[in-house]
């Protein structure tokens, strides 16, 4: 897909496998510092490298609905909307017995929360078979407050519906993203209060951005 003008100094294009390394580096440099769950655990790039690699890989699978925004001047990635397509599993509990996949306990405990919410989606939406799931929305801090995040969330949704996806789902873990999805009409399906999410009896996440919960949000594609 050709690039499309996305503002005065940036352009948007659908991500391909050629963008894999740039996407990974963007997450390691930018997202790792500012994502509330990672930040709450003082997660380092080394802690998160394995899970970020898996996120990038999942986001570039077919059909691909992942987009990147690059600077016209430097060609560097300044924002991304990473998505993947999920189909209803035959056994919604099969992941519960799998061993923790990553070396870092911080990556594993974040994954555990995200998978808990994903499994809950299939319970709450019993007739839904195919969902476009957001992996992340991230905008570099130098490009914040320009409406890029909202434009990314709403960008080219017709192709997702045409691919047979019945709705859009996201695990909203940041205060700003929770506000954005509420503004755009997403439904709150399920919430996990940080005070209720514990490991060895201790609260895991105390986020510095002011959020006290993770919210599973959903919007049907009618």
Could you tell me the CATH number of the domain that includes residue 87? 3.40.630.30
Q: What is the pLDDT of residues 119-167, one digit of tens each?
A: 999 999 999 999 999 999 999 999 999 999 999 999 999 999 999 999 9
Compute the average pLDDT of residues 106-124.
97
Phi-psi category of 83—alpha, beta or left, where left has phi over 0 and alpha has psi -120 to 50? beta
Number of domain units in the chain: 1
Query: Contact at 8 Å (CB) between 64 and 15?
Result: yes
Torsion of CA 90, 95, 96, 98, to 10 degrees: 140
**97: pLDDT strictly greater than 80:** no
Q: What is the reported pTM?
A: 0.93
What is the span of the domain harbouring residue 152?
4-220
In which band, very low, low, confident or very high, does the pLDDT at 95 lie, cut at 50, 70 and 90?
Answer: low
pLDDT of residue 93: 62
pLDDT of residue 96: 57
**1: pLDDT strictly greater than 60:** no
In which band, very low, low, confident or very high, does the pLDDT at 92 lie, cut at 50, 70 and 90?
Answer: low
H/E/C letters for each residue in the chain?
CCCEECCCCEEEEECCHHHHHHHHHHHHHHHHHHCHHHHHCCCCHHHHHHHHHHHHHHHCCCCCCCEEEEECCCCCEEEEEEEEEEECCCCCCHHHHCCCCCCCHHHHHHHHHHHHHHHHHHHHCCCCCEEEEEEEEEECHHHCCCCHHHHHHCCCCHHHHHCCCCEEEEEECCHHHHHHHHHCCCEEEEEEEHHHCEECCEECCCCCCCCCEEEEEEEECC
- Where does residue 24 rank: exposed (0-12), middle (13-18), buried (19+ CB within 10 A)? middle
Share of the chain above pLDDT 70, in %: 96
């Amino acid at each position: 897909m050709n690039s499309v003008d996305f503002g005065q100094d940036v352009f948007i294009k659908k991500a391909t496998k050629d963008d894999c390394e740039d996407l990974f580096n963007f997450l390691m440099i930018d997202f790792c510092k500012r994502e509330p769950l990672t930040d709450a655990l003082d997660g380092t790039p080394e802690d998160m490298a394995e899970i970020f690699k898996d996120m990038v890989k999942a986001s570039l699978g077919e059909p691909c609905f992942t987009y990147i925004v690059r600077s016209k001047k430097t060609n560097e990635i300044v924002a991304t909307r990473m998505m993947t397509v999920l189909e209803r599993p035959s056994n919604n509990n099969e992941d519960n017995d799998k061993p923790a996949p990553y070396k870092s306990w911080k990556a594993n405990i974040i994954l555990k929360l995200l998978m808990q919410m994903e499994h809950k989606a299939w319970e709450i939406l019993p007739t839904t078979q195919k969902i476009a799931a957001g992996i992340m929305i991230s905008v570099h801090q130098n490009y914040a407050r320009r409406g890029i995040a909202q434009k990314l969330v709403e960008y080219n949704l017709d192709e997702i519906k045409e691919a047979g996806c019945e709705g859009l789902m996201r695990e909203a873990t940041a205060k700003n993203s929770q506000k954005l999805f509420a503004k755009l009409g997403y439904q709150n399906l399920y919430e996990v209060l940080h005070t209720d999410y514990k490991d060895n009896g201790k609260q895991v996440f105390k986020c510095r951005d002011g959020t006290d919960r993770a919210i599973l949000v959903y919007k049907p594609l009618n």
